[in-house]
Amino acid sequence: MEDDFFNVLDAKRELRQGIVECQKRGLVYSVKWLAEMCHGLADVDIDGEDEKDNFGIKMLEGIVPKEYDNYSLAKSYFDVREYDRAAHLVRNASSPVPRFLHLYAIYMAVEKRRLDSSTDQSNINDSVHFKDLGEILVTLRTEHSRNKLDG
């Protein structure tokens, strides 16, 4: 995966650094674009190379290294309000931060659909729409009973 002109490991490192730099500046669409490219290099493993790097360790806290690329892309989708795409991408995540993002993205997607479908302000408080949140409630109750919640 390496030749004289292009080093894939360096490219993935630079993409991740670009994601962080763009996030700091609020460039959500640039983050989305960089995260999509980084996700395309999911088979390139750079995690654990710099064990002394506290920044890298802090960024991965609460996220299994194998899930970081999916999480990063899902977070970029969430930031540009593509909630269904974000929830789908981290639907099988096992670590706490991506699991939270999955549930929160589902919640935001339901709320967005509810607000988009309401034609006037009187429908916004309609309790019928809250039944859509049942999936989140069931998931949270199950994880709570198994002591798998991190909060």
Give the mean pLDDT of 85-106: 94
Per the domain annotation, does 3 fall within a domain? no
Per the domain annotation, does 150 fall within a domain? no
Instruction: Domain of residue 42: give its range.
Output: 8-145
Per the domain annotation, does 117 fall within a domain? yes
Residue of 36, 118, 22 lying closest to 82 (CA atoms): 36
Residue of 70, 73, 110, 75 lying closest to 93 (CA atoms): 70
Give residue 150's region: left, alpha or beta (phi > 0; psi -120 to 50): alpha
Is pLDDT above 50 for 72?
A: yes
Per the domain annotation, does 1 fall within a domain? no
Per the domain annotation, does 77 fall within a domain? yes
- At residue 82, the pLDDT reads 96
Give the mean pLDDT of 105-131: 75
Domain tally, the chain:
1
Give the mean pLDDT of 53-78: 80
* Tokens (6 digits) for 66: 């194998």
13-22, 24-33, 119-128: which range is least confident on average? Answer: 119-128
* The model's pTM: 0.74
What's the burial of 114, exposed, middle or buried (CB within 10 Å: 0-12/13-18/19+)? middle
pLDDT digits (tens, 9 = 90+) for 30-65: 999 999 999 999 888 876 655 445 555 566 678 888
Per the domain annotation, does 151 fall within a domain? no
Q: Model confidence at 114, in pLDDT bands (50, 70, 90)?
A: confident
Percentage, residues of the chain above pLDDT 70: 79
Per the domain annotation, does 29 fall within a domain? yes
Q: Which run of H or E residues covers position 19? A: helix 8-24
Per the domain annotation, does 2 fall within a domain? no
Is pLDDT above 80 for 83?
A: yes
**CATH code of the domain in which 55 resides:** 1.25.40.10
Is pLDDT above 70 for 2?
A: no
d(CA 151, CA 148): 9
- At residue 132, the pLDDT reads 72
d(CA 72, CA 147): 26
- At residue 99, the pLDDT reads 93
